[in-house]
Amino acid sequence: MAPEYLSPGVYVEEVPGASKPIEMVGTSTVGFIGESRKGPVNQVVFCPNWSTFTKNFGDFADSGHFAHAVYGFFNNGGARCFVLNVGQGEADKRPARFIGYDKGPGDRAGLHAFEEVEEIAIVCAPGQTDPAIQDAVLTHCEKMRYRFAILDSPEVIEAGGVDKLPKPRDSKYGAYYFPWIKVYDPNDGEIYVPPSGHMAGIYARSDAERGVHKAPANEIVRGALGLRYNITKGEQDILNPKGINCIREFTNRGIRVWGARTISSDPEWRYVNVRRLFNMVENSIEGGTQWVVFEPNDHMLWKRVSRNITAFLLRVWRDGALFGESPDQAFYVKCDAETNPPEVIDAGQLVVEIGMCPTKPAEFVIFRIGQMPTGGDVSE
């Protein structure tokens, strides 16, 4: 409706922009859940640094693997995390403490308490290798849709070698790392700790330096003095196809993450960076298009939505996250009468179809080398 002018004068009007920018959501805020003798129980505490963690939950002597994981996170490039202490009690009741309960707002415990914190993008339960706990972490990430789980392998391999190493259930929302790493503990000297906290920091570091589309692999593990097991190439040939990411020590190159796979059997979601890229894009688009709700569902709205999403995906493509020499090869956005026929409009729905071609890691680099004939012409 046009404004009403009743007397002569100068009138200033604010005109909304043609497009509403979609901002990229954060991808490296971690939710740590574990056991500590100190600190509040089943209360999510925001920790922007190591000192905040120790102030609330004590140091290595109070929470063991839990504290080492958070320290490793900050030491490897992490900057923001939320910490939940489930308390300490009987070991046969540990899964129940981690799974927790949901009795509504203000009365949630365990993993359910993380549902109230929208910023979390990665979830870790350091050192928890119980199948029930790992299943609960994966279920939480699947339910929340835009979260990714980093899971730990057992510290010790049972009889039978690496081919008998247990693996979590199939999921495109999690990755699994082996083996544990050796670190310095001020109380006990050199000890072995689960790698998930250090890996979460590497995820954050890689996201900040390169972007979420870069696989968090071939990265130095800061603070690692050694490994519980030194994996050979032959042993990794067994583990890699199973989606078990190895951490290996290389001569003159240090201890590095040498795997970037999810624990999914679906080839489309084989790589960690592909899943996390889609998490970021989907979450960003969902948050950046809330203004559409209750707008008149017509061709004008379709054009505005298409324009906004296209502008966002152009940024993603220019950052190197999508494969293609041109935007048309990298992605498409379709929002028209075909995706929104009358029956869809009558149901109060607006449907946008988006396709993306993500870049995938060069996991196998192959150089084909042959001999040239003696005296031959190089151009032949």
Residue 312, pLDDT above cutoff 70:
yes
What pLDDT does residue 158 have? 80
Q: What residue spans in the chain does CATH classification 3.40.50.11780 cover? A: 30-274
What pLDDT does residue 95 have? 95
- b/e code 199-214 from CB counts within 10 Å (16+ = b): bbbbbbbbbeeebbbb
Is-contact 196 299, C-beta < 8 A?
no
Question: Which residues is 274 bridged to in the sheet?
Answer: none
Is-contact 108 116, C-beta < 8 A?
yes
* Distance between CA atoms of residues 136 and 122, nearest Å: 14
Q: Is 360 exposed, middle or buried (0-12, 13-18, 19+ CB in 10 A)?
A: middle
* pTM for the predicted model, two decimal places: 0.92
Q: Which CATH architecture has domain 30-274?
A: 3-Layer(aba) Sandwich (3.40)
What pLDDT does residue 161 have? 82
Average pLDDT over residues 88-106: 90
What pLDDT does residue 20 have? 79
What pLDDT does residue 2 have? 65
* Distance between CA atoms of residues 306 and 358, nearest Å: 20
- Provide the token pair at 265: 């059997």
Residue found by looking up tokens 């993603």 in the block: 316
* Distance between CA atoms of residues 309 and 281, nearest Å: 10
What pLDDT does residue 256 have? 97
